[in-house]
Amino acid sequence: MVLVAGSANLDFVVRAPHIPAPGETILGGAFQTFAGGKGANQAVACARAGGVATHMLLALGDDAFAAPIEASLNSADVTLHTVRPSGVPTGSAFICVDDQAENAITVAPGANACLTSAHLPPLKGYSHLLMQLEIPMETVTAYALAARAAGVQVALNAAPAQPLASELLAAVDVLVVNEGELRTLAGVQGSIAFCLAHLPCPVVVVTLGARGCVVREGATFHVQTGFEVLAVDTTGAGDTFCGALVAALADHTPMAQALRQASAAAALACTQMGAQNSVPTAQAVAAFLAQSPQPQDASDIEALRQYAGLS
């Protein structure tokens, strides 16, 4: 069973031909609202794409923005541990998605900033705690230390990028970062392989968008190439990857297969608009993988290894 502790937002999404530059005003297209927030997205991915029992600790305001978030999590069969701070609105995010499916996001944390160490539920029965950095850093650290003391595996998606205290890093079992976040945390410049050598976590996963991902598991390296899909919106793809990966690990799936499942789930998430509603089911992931080549193409693997500095 997985516990996700993190953010929950209502996303306000507008399509536009390109993401506006500073000071630029452009005419957009379709506007929609979606349930989002990195924590809630990952909880939905754990439950729906990963197919494992998932609980979520989250903070919501007593307002209309909370209802669609709760409905989305409930529809994915996520068990909620909800904190409702008085007089604080539900978190929100403002997202522009361009014609290349790239996005720019601004988050107003709202109630997410009110989660404290006192809100963590008893950890008995959980195998993994999954977190992100859209709740206070001191809260993330307190939860990680409590999980470590309870023998619960700690998975951290270190996003948005910011330096992490050595105390927190020492309590993380599985660290998931993108290439920019990797360099921020490693504090060095160089290849992906070189940066990975400067992080103490037992497992570090580096996501590389459409390229795929690179993982250091102890002294062993894994590479997983990306799956080609017709991308409509990349919002939530990274969160889908994180949730599906941790779910697979909680289900005792070997790392190489867990990466393949998570990468497939993330690719499928790019084929629909929105964050949580674009997360595929475990059945859809399995069907997609059944139609995909296996093993990976040797030339694609070598190209990814070279990009990462492993060859």
Active centre residues (catalytic): 239
E runs forming strands in the chain: 2-5, 9-15, 31-36, 54-59, 79-83, 91-97, 103-108, 128-131, 153-157, 174-178, 203-207, 212-217, 220-225
CB of 226 within 8 A of CB of 267? yes
What is the SS3 assignment for 207-240?
ECHHHEEEEEECCEEEEEECCCCCCCCCCCHHHH
Burial class (CB in 10 A: 0-12, 13-18, 19+), 110: buried
Separation of alpha carbons 73 and 84, rounded Å = 16
CB of 201 within 8 A of CB of 173? yes
Give the SS3 label for residue 304: helix
